[in-house]
Amino acid sequence: MIELRHFQYFVMLAETLHFGRAAQQLHISQPPLSRQIALMEAELGVQLFERTRRSVRLTRAGARFYQDAVEILNSVDRARRNVVAASRGEDGAIAVGFMMSSAYNILPALTRTYAAAYSRVDMKLAETLPNLLAEAVRAGRTDVGIMYRPEDLTGLNTATVFREEMVAVLPRTHPLGKARVLDAAQLAEESFVSIPREIAPLVYDLVVDHCRRAGFSPHIRLETNLQQTIINLVGEGLGVAMVPMSMSSTSASGNAVFKPLRNAPVAEVVLLWSRDNHNPCVETFVENARTVWRDMQRAPGARLVPDPPDTRMR
């Protein structure tokens, strides 16, 4: 039976046309090489080489077989490289779910650098509401989620990849629109537009807790699922809001103004993946995200909240 090593012997002899040099390159002695080539010819039932005392030449059949043998060896080498790459997360596929607000902070840099570093990985992106995203990751429909930290982390791993302060959003014509910095207490009599707690409990609780520390419970007049819609509604004069600072770059901000909050609460975006997910691409995606977040914190002029020293990712 023809084995992989026989193809290697044949190709080396076909390229050197010299038994002695071929044997030397293969790190075997000449008699075993001659014997293996003869056995190969017997197995195929064709003569691959014409031999004389002075020369070795490929037959017509040998020349044809050489093309196929090279292709076989290349395919085996490619398969070897592919399986190693797949085991290291350098090849394969990954499904990434994200909440829309992450498109204004970590998502662009994260996906751009990952695609550049792992061009052989097929990365699928899907926008999903935070509460649905956590369930999709837990159920295995999505490999990695980019979202605010959920309350229920059963069966899930997380890594912080972005931290930023919350800011106040006011209609452009609001009397407080010219203030440099706002105290939450200045908004005590306002109606608020908010994301529902069941969609993003972390952000909802940040707003409510910050207001309570200022001495009041916010009157939430309207709730909507998307931060962009919140900003639109504020711009239409339907209330005020608190949103992550990066949302000030959205095109929805035309009729709204964003004001820093004194002692502002900090919104944290995490990567989320299932402990039962063994896709090697998840590990490379997480490591890439860690690097991106470190680089963003170190960038000149960065207006981000760094990780606390005792939790900073290494």
Work out the mean pLDDT of the chain and round it to a whole number.
90
Give the whole-angstrom CA distance, residue 172 versus residue 110: 33
Residue-level pLDDT at 131 = 87
What's the Cα-to-Cα distance from 28 to each of 3, 21, 24, 58, rounded to whole Å?
Answer: 16, 10, 6, 21
Residue 313: band (very low, low, confident or very high) from pLDDT cuts 50, 70, 90: very low
pLDDT, tens digit (0-9, with 9 covering 90-100), for 264-300: 999 999 999 999 888 889 999 999 999 999 988 888 7
According to the model, what pLDDT value does residue 314 have?
Answer: 40
pLDDT over 60 at 311, yes or no: no
Report the distance separating Cα 103 and Cα 85, nearest Å: 29
Burial of 106 per CB tally in 10 Å (0-12, 13-18, 19+): buried
**Domains of the chain in sequence order:** 4-88 (1.10.10.10), 92-161+269-298 (3.40.190.10), 164-266 (3.40.190.10)
Q: Which residue, chain included where needed, has tokens 């020349």?
A: 63
pLDDT digits (tens, 9 = 90+) for 225-259: 999 999 999 999 999 999 999 998 876 667 899 99
pLDDT at 252: 62
Range with the lowest mean pLDDT among 64-78, 116-130, 291-305? 291-305
pLDDT digits (tens, 9 = 90+) for 10-43: 999 999 999 999 999 999 999 999 999 999 999 9
Q: What is the pTM of this model?
A: 0.71
Residues above pLDDT 90, as percent of the chain: 71
